[in-house]
Amino acid sequence: MSFKFSAAHSSRIKKSTKPPTINRNASPFSSLPRRKPVQRSSSKSATADDEDEDLFGDRLDDIGLVKALATDLTLRDVAQAIMYTRGKMWSSIPQERAGMNSTRIAEVLNFRASLPPIVTVSHIQALLNSPTTVEREIAELIKGRAIRKIVVGGRGSIGEALILVKDLEELIEKSTLEQSVKEKFTKLLYEHPTAMKIPRSELAPDDAKALTHAGFLTAATPTWTSTEVFSTPGQGSRGTMTSLNSISRAASGTLAAVGGEGAVHAAGGSGGGIGTPSTGELSLAIPATGAFLKLVAGARAHLVSLLSKSRFREAPETVLRQRWDGGIAADAALSAAKRSRGEFAGVLPGRTRKWKQFYGMTFDWILGECVGAGLVEVFETGSVGRGVRAL
């Protein structure tokens, strides 16, 4: 056995015969083991709005409800509150970066101009201190021919609206009615300041038809309920305006056997029957009231849905205002600097629901509507300003 034998010849470790290559441009972290990127949850995208996040894990402090939303101390009566409410309904269209072309801006302005100058009673009650005092003052102003009350049946609190008499007279004067019809209708309203329905006998058939087509009169909604249909029938029954006794005695196949001529129209329906023009009543109305009620109802539901995104259905007023505005881009220097760097600086106003669906309705206006309707309440927190809670 030779003494020159060593373990190096029998070892499995072999030295490389190639010279090592040195990459001078390699990163010092290139030798570290690679790992797959962490898979993040796709439930919330990176572009999701901050509206979906609940910033407050606990309820807000409540030190008392806010009795009146209006901060203007000059509001002392209902007439001033009506003008104040109308002036606070719309936001001004941004001069720069509006996100709307000229056609859309014209649509927004035309829609605003087409709405009637009315205000709901519940909104006025939310602005002023005492609802009882407001109701008493409304009754006095109606008797004094200063304001007029319009009621749309089946709409609840949203269907009771107020309009200044001078605004109503301007609407009548701007309409396409004949001058004689305008004068007769204005005189009739002056003689009956508290009436919300006008007998058909007070107007000629042609005048009543013209006023109905213009939107100032509608068919009166019957005051009977569904339970009264099963009451004892008689002459001029409440539910049908016809008598089952007279129908049963009529000969088969005649008009009398189906209630007579214009039975559906006389019962308050919209059938094509020929109603007697000298009987029944017509309700006072304002043109384009339906568009106004539809807009307000949609805005109310949207504001309540914004509160539903919070855990306890409440949020500070500042946070709720940002949600209503949709996180639009501000005009501050910080936003301008972000835009110059190509960073995100907020959504353009024309792309938010506030402008696309509600034509720039202000947050303060819809908040007053919801408070007056009993959908939300405003309270003082003592720490983060006023809070808003859904009821």
Structure tokens at 325: 């505005």
Residue identified by tokens 């304002």 is 286
Is the predicted pLDDT of residue 261 greater than 70, yes or no?
no
**Confidence class of residue 367 from pLDDT cuts 50, 70 and 90?**
very high
**Mean pLDDT, residues 7-15 taken together:** 54
Torsion region of 35: left, alpha or beta (phi above 0 gives left; psi -120 to 50 gives alpha): beta
**Confidence class of residue 117 from pLDDT cuts 50, 70 and 90?**
very high
Q: Interhelix angle for 317-325 vs 289-308, to 10°?
A: 120
In a domain, 239, yes or no: yes
**Residue 43: what pLDDT?**
45
Is the predicted pLDDT of residue 17 greater than 70, yes or no?
no
Structure tokens at 11: 């070892």
Is the predicted pLDDT of residue 94 greater than 60, yes or no?
yes
**Residue 271: what pLDDT?**
44
**Residue 179: what pLDDT?**
93
Q: Are residues 315 and 269 in the same domain?
A: no
Query: Taking Cα atoms as reference points, which of 236, 184, 233, 228 lies closest to residue 206?
Result: 184
**Residues of the domain holding 230:** 221-279
**Residue 226: what pLDDT?**
39
**Confidence class of residue 46 from pLDDT cuts 50, 70 and 90?**
very low
CA distance 206 to 184: 12
What's the total number of domains in the chain?
2
Of all helices (H) and strands (E), which one includes residue 380? strand 376-380
Is the predicted pLDDT of residue 230 greater than 60, yes or no?
no
Q: Are residues 295 and 372 in the same domain?
A: yes
CA distance 158 to 152: 8
Q: Are residues 269 and 323 in the same domain?
A: no
In a domain, 63, yes or no: yes
Residues in the chain, how many? 391
**Residue 287: what pLDDT?**
93
Structure tokens at 13: 């470790």
In a domain, 144, yes or no: no
Q: Are residues 337 and 295 in the same domain?
A: yes
Q: How far apart, in Å, are the Cα atoms of 123 and each of 118, 131, 135, 289, 367?
A: 11, 10, 12, 16, 9
* Residue 363 Cα to chain centre, angstroms: 10
Higher pLDDT, 260 or 307: 307
In a domain, 145, yes or no: no
Q: Are residues 269 and 332 in the same domain?
A: no
Mean pLDDT of the chain: 76
Is the predicted pLDDT of residue 47 greater than 60, yes or no?
no
Q: What are the pLDDT digits (tens) for 310-332?
A: 888 999 998 899 899 887 755 55
Judged by average pLDDT, the poorest of 74-78, 114-118, 305-309 is 74-78
**Confidence class of residue 236 from pLDDT cuts 50, 70 and 90?**
very low
Is the predicted pLDDT of residue 51 greater than 70, yes or no?
no
In a domain, 112, yes or no: yes
Give yes or no for a contact between 60 and 54, defined as CB atoms under 8 angstroms apart: no
**Residue 350: what pLDDT?**
84
**Mean pLDDT, residues 4-32 taken together:** 54
Higher pLDDT, 258 or 120: 120
Give yes or no for a contact between 109 and 152, defined as CB atoms under 8 angstroms apart: no
Give yes or no for a contact between 163 and 177, defined as CB atoms under 8 angstroms apart: no
Q: What are the pLDDT digits (tens) for 134-191?
A: 899 999 999 999 999 998 877 777 888 999 999 999 999 999 999 999 999 999 999 9
Beta bridge partners of 149: 162
In a domain, 189, yes or no: no
Among the three residues 279, 314, 345, which one is the final residue of a domain in this structure?
279
Higher pLDDT, 58 or 233: 58
If 0-12 CB within 10 Å is exposed, 13-18 middle and 19+ buried, where does residue 297 land?
middle
Q: What angle do CA 75, 361, 172 make, to 5 degrees?
A: 70
Q: Are residues 304 and 364 in the same domain?
A: yes
Q: Are residues 268 and 350 in the same domain?
A: no
Is the predicted pLDDT of residue 34 greater than 80, yes or no?
no
**Mean pLDDT, residues 204-225 taken together:** 80
**Residue 129: what pLDDT?**
73
Among the three residues 279, 307, 325, which one is the final residue of a domain in this structure?
279
For residues 285, 291, 296 and 302, what is the CA-based torsion angle, rounded to 10 degrees?
160
pTM attached to this predicted model: 0.69
**Residue 259: what pLDDT?**
58
Q: Are residues 252 and 295 in the same domain?
A: no
3-state secondary structure of 339: helix
**For the chain, how are helix, strand and coil distributed in percent, rounded to 5?**
40, 10, 50
Q: Are residues 304 and 275 in the same domain?
A: no
Q: Are residues 238 and 296 in the same domain?
A: no
What percent of the chain is predicted at pLDDT more than 70? 64
Range among 57-61, 127-131, 168-172, 328-332 rated most confident: 168-172
- Strands ordered across the beta sheet of 160-164: 119-120, 160-164, 147-151
**Residue 139: what pLDDT?**
92
Q: Are residues 263 and 329 in the same domain?
A: no
Query: Taking Cα atoms as reference points, which of 178, 223, 166 lies closest to residue 204?
Result: 178
